[in-house]
Structure 1
Amino acid sequence: MAEQEQRIVGPDYLVAGRYRLRSKLGGGGMGSVWLAHDTLLDREVAIKQVVSTAGLTEEAAQEIRARAMREGRIAARLSHDHAIAMYDVALEGGEPWLVMEYLPSRSLAQALNVTEALPPLQVAQIGAQVADALSEAHAAGIVHRDIKPGNILIADRGRGAGTVKISDFGISRAKGDAQLTRTGVITGTPAYFAPEVARGDDPTEASDVFSLGATLYTATEGQPPFGIDENTIALLHKVAKAEIMRPVHSGDLTDVLLHLLEPDPARRPTMAQARDLLAQVAAGAGGSVSYVLDTPLRGADGTVPFWARRSATSGPVRANRLPTSTITGLPAAQNSVPLQSVPRPGPRIPVAPPIEPRPAPTPHSAVPLAVAIVLLFVAIAVVVVVVLMIAS
């Protein structure tokens, strides 16, 4: 154990005698993700280092290992063009490392740091492609449980630029899996929760649909449907009551978004139906739905949108504005409004701040006006005198 704790993981570190780490791509509560080189197959991969179990009790360490192995098994069951592929689970010092497809990309959350919001038709295409992958996951009995802008990737360079993929099945659950969380405790990102999940119900395919709707809402409106609140518990209660703000920038996508964000899970579309609705919006009248599902994102000019390009760095400063971190161990919201009593329309229209009355203009002073008149008469008198002198 002491030898394991002394190892320093960093660039050039060799995992399982095969994967050489290059640089860290990111990290979170569930571990760190590295860019690595597969020395056996000579290709770039993303490799996820699960949170270290050093210093933990054997029971806690075993739970972390079980979560990692479960993520690997679940992701390996899904093979789809719009989902990050799972290649391998490598064991290093008894700890599992997840080896995945590497997609040079930026997340939807990062794209929203480049631009205030995205055009509704592009958001509809992103949603349709992600829903296509998730509908296959649901058909395989897999519920993602953490759909959010940070887990949707858009390739930002190379021949595949504009390709959309859903990632991170770290807290997913497959039917038949053992329960790894305590009853009444929820895991995920509250800003994108479905109301029933905030109240403590188990996540389902329907809650994935709501989370996708919340993610797409965020892409068009610039903030999640429940707003932004640093008080996680207060936000959780707002989510439990289904208090969303009606979208105002989503154009033709509005009706579909509201359908995905139905407070009652029984009234939401399935993920496959959501895919079809989103694809129809993106395709427009007479457009090709299959083209929408199979083609990387393109703008009106036929090129990759500026916010999805590697070189795109300008735009409003929004770093860390959107909630991105997955939170574990949240208590379900208590004493919230029962689902049956939530008004069916659900959304409320944000109230614009009152317009302050414009102050009455200050009357012009009479003194400057009188001075101007006097000066005018003096000027006329001077002109008359000069004319008379010339005439004489």
Structure 2
Amino acid sequence: MESNARLKNIHYTSHENLPEQSPMLSENDMDKIIEEYFTKNDQLESMAKIGVGAFGTVIKVKDRNDNRIYALKITTSKGRSNECKILADLDHPCIVKYYNSRLYSDKWLVIQMGYCEMTLKLVIENKNAILKRHVGNKYIELFDYIISWQIYWEIVSVLRYLHHHAKVLHLDIKPSNILCDPNLSHGTLIKIADFGLSIKYEDISHTYTDKCKGSPGYMADENERGKYTPASDVFSFGQTMAHLFNVDMDLEYHIVDYEQPSLLKKQIHNMLD
């Protein structure tokens, strides 16, 4: 499918695309920890660094036993075990697959998860190449429209599942935490990842605290005061969709004809079937 080909042309493995390394630990120090880990665990082959955050690093790895590709998150173990507990209980086609976790050197938590080639952040930054959306163009092509709304509804389905079934707040919905799967595993385009800030309803304090969860630009005002509700995720979702759809008060979107309607019809059928 053409949609798969467009997505596969972009890879999130370049250091130029990575967020800045946290000042809590220098990149050289983290690289030494990673090298030491793979020296002692030769079952996994390190292929590429695909993400760097405030608490650790995500690496693309290959398991030499089954020849499958995984994502390995190496993060500080302090206060992060909750992420594994929450992930292990979740079962949704649009949530990243959790396989296992282990403690390394008493202070590093290693989490093995499903691998996706890119993030929604990278898709948004490369709309011209992936979605053929031109900067400044007031029109959105039908292909772009369908893909964007498919992503929209898949995230909605995850939030419904988290809030109504799993009773979990994600608290860090943003483009870099939404993985895009060009292989359409389970028939879905996206996988929600990074549950490091997530909290179960039963653990939510009903009073304001001094703990702040979320990312600047995507975090609701009440989060800054330590108050968390399902509306916190909805606000972050809205901010994310504003970036995806280029929401602007002066910008109107109109559907234009697609050059290959028969191919588009097949793509829509495959995605929504």
The question of a shared fold, defined as TM-score above 0.5 by the shorter chain, is answered with yes
**AA partner of residue 264 (structure 2):** A
Number of the residue aligned with 1:217: 242
Q: Are positions 1:80 and 2:71 aligned together?
A: no
Q: Give the C-alpha shift of residue 120 in structure 1.
A: 3.9
Paired with 1:213 and 1:99, the residues of 2 have a C-alpha distance of: 29
Q: Is the 8 A contact 1:221 1:249 kept in 2?
A: no
Structure 1: runs of 5+ lacking an equivalent: 52-64, 223-244, 253-298, 305-392
TM-score normalised by structure 2 residue count: 0.67
Distance verdict in 2 for CA 1:132–1:5, change over 3 Å: closer
**AA partner of residue 216 (structure 2):** P
SS in 2 for 1:130: helix
Percent sequence identity over matched residues? 26
SS in 1 for 2:264: coil
**AA partner of residue 135 (structure 1):** R
Paired with 2:49 and 2:31, the residues of 1 have a C-alpha distance of: 20
Q: Give the C-alpha shift of residue 100 in structure 1.
A: 0.5
Q: Are positions 1:171 and 2:183 aligned together?
A: no
Match of 2:74 among 5, 28, 49: 49
SS in 1 for 2:49: strand
Q: Give the C-alpha shift of residue 11 in structure 1.
A: 9.3
Q: Is the 8 A contact 2:213 2:226 kept in 1?
A: no
Q: Are positions 1:13 and 2:38 aligned together?
A: yes
Distance verdict in 2 for CA 1:178–1:99, change over 3 Å: farther
**AA partner of residue 136 (structure 1):** Y
Number of the residue aligned with 1:204: 229
Distance verdict in 2 for CA 1:42–1:301, change over 3 Å: same
Number of the residue aligned with 1:37: 62
Distance verdict in 2 for CA 1:247–1:67, change over 3 Å: farther
Number of residues paired by the alignment? 215
Q: Are positions 1:300 and 2:264 aligned together?
A: yes
**AA partner of residue 195 (structure 1):** D
Number of the residue aligned with 2:251: 248
Q: Is the 8 A contact 1:16 1:92 kept in 2?
A: no
TM-score normalised by structure 1 residue count: 0.48
Paired with 1:15 and 1:303, the residues of 2 have a C-alpha distance of: 45
Q: Are positions 1:127 and 2:152 aligned together?
A: yes
Distance verdict in 2 for CA 1:162–1:93, change over 3 Å: same
Number of the residue aligned with 1:23: 48
Q: Are positions 1:96 and 2:109 aligned together?
A: yes
Highest Rg: 1 or 2? 1
SS in 1 for 2:161: helix
Distance verdict in 2 for CA 1:68–1:21, change over 3 Å: farther
SS in 2 for 1:153: strand
**AA partner of residue 150 (structure 1):** S
Paired with 1:196 and 1:174, the residues of 2 have a C-alpha distance of: 17
Paired with 2:231 and 2:184, the residues of 1 have a C-alpha distance of: 35
Q: Is the 8 A contact 1:30 1:170 kept in 2?
A: no
**Over the residues paired in the alignment, what is the CA RMSD in angstroms?**
3.3
**AA partner of residue 128 (structure 1):** W
Paired with 1:89 and 1:27, the residues of 2 have a C-alpha distance of: 18
Paired with 1:72 and 1:126, the residues of 2 have a C-alpha distance of: 25
Number of the residue aligned with 1:110: 122
**AA partner of residue 208 (structure 1):** D
Q: Give the C-alpha shift of residue 185 in structure 1.
A: 3.9
Distance verdict in 2 for CA 1:249–1:201, change over 3 Å: farther
